[in-house]
């Protein structure tokens, strides 16, 4: 590992990745692009010039190798030109986002939670979500010495939270299995990877962050807290909700656990229909046991 090796955070939607992402962002040695990897390299079509330019840049890769960055299905192998394109475009996106990186660091410094200046040259930090975890071995080839952090959560919590947002268990559970099985294969392969359970973050956030910093070669103690964003409703003169705005909230590492408990539905298992709970046991039992969750025989 070098002092410039990237850090990749591997996660699932509704899996608690934002807390760990922002803990890593709080370190003075990290920099990052604006968005998850697929959002940066494969944005949705929109009538904006910068988005259209990015789509045009992705088109040769899509024609050559398929829609490899689609987070809704497993990717295939990459060609050397695909790897070169990913490295080039992630670097460009990170450079473009440096003003926001500096704003974030200054905001933390103003709260007394960390320095506003970098300690080193800057470690690129990229969030890789859902089926894009299948690109981890390719990212390891592109970036020798990169470090990987895989964030997992009990499938009952994942399923309940995704279903509350309109997802179907028939889509959620294959994704959970793919994600979990891929993490286990990456571990067995010897990838420089640390698997972190959301539930352990909630118990002792400071300890978990220090362990992740150690894996990534980031100096512990260089930062003392993180910034999270909450959404605030915008209303008109009649009191009708007309939009939302993001509001920064700051939390010391030693005090963030209470905030996280508010975000995790500990009653997720009880709130799921019995048939959905049965589907989870049938599809995810082996993965749950490997990650230290309750075995099916203990779930009654």
Residues composing the chain? 300
Interatomic CA distance for residues 130 and 36, integer angstroms: 11
Residue given tokens 């962002």 in the structure block: 25
**CB-CB contact of 124 with 65 (8 Å):** no
Beta pairing class for 225-235 and 193-197: unpaired
Assign 3-state DSSP to the chain and report helix, strand, coil percentages, each to 5. 50, 15, 30
**CB-CB contact of 82 with 64 (8 Å):** yes
Q: Helix or strand or coil: residue 147?
A: strand
Domains of the chain and any CATH numbers: 7-224+264-298 (3.40.50)
The pLDDT profile of the chain, 300 residues, written as one tens digit per residue, is 446 799 999 999 888 899 999 999 999 999 999 999 999 998 765 555 565 666 677 888 888 888 888 888 999 888 999 999 999 999 999 999 999 999 999 999 999 998 877 666 689 999 999 999 999 999 999 999 999 999 999 888 888 888 888 888 888 999 999 999 999 999 999 999 999 999 899 889 999 999 999 999 998 888 999 988 776 777 778 777 777 777 888 989 888 876 666 545 455 665 778 888 888 888 888 898 899 886 544 444
Beta pairing class for 241-252 and 225-235: antiparallel
Question: Which three-class secondary structure string do you get for 229-269?
Answer: EEEEEEECCCCCEEEEEEEEEEEEHHHHHHHHHHHCCCCHH
């Amino acid at each position: 590992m070098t002092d410039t090796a990237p850090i990749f955070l591997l996660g699932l939607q509704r899996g608690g990745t934002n807390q760990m992402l922002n803990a890593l962002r709080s370190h003075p040695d990290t920099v990052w692009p604006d968005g998850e990897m697929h959002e940066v390299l494969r944005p949705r079509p929109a009538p904006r010039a910068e988005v259209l330019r990015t789509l045009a840049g992705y088109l040769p890769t899509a024609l050559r190798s398929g829609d490899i960055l689609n987070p809704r299905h497993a990717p295939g192998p990459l060609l050397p030109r695909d790897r070169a394109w990913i490295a080039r475009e992630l670097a460009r996106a990170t450079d473009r986002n440096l003003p926001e990186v500096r704003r974030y660091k200054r905001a933390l410094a103003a709260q007394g939670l960390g320095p506003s200046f970098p300690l080193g040259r800057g470690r690129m930090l990229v969030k890789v979500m859902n089926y894009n975890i299948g690109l981890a071995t390719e990212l390891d080839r592109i970036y020798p010495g990169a470090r990987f952090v895989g964030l997992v959560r009990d499938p009952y919590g994942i399923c309940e939270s995704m279903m509350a947002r309109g997802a179907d268990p028939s889509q959620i559970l294959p994704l959970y299995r793919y994600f979990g099985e891929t993490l286990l294969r990456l571990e067995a392969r010897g990838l420089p990877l640390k698997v972190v359970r959301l539930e352990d973050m909630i118990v002792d956030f400071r300890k978990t962050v220090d362990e992740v910093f150690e894996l990534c070669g980031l100096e512990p103690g260089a930062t003392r807290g993180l910034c999270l964003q909450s959404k605030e409703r915008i209303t008109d003169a009649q009191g009708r909700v007309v939009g939302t705005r993001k509001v920064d909230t700051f939390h010391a590492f030693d005090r963030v656990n209470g905030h996280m408990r508010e975000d995790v539905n500990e009653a997720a298992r009880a709130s799921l229909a019995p048939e959905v709970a049965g589907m989870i046991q049938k599809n995810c039992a082996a993965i749950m046991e490997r990650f230290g969750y309750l075995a099916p025989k203990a779930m009654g």
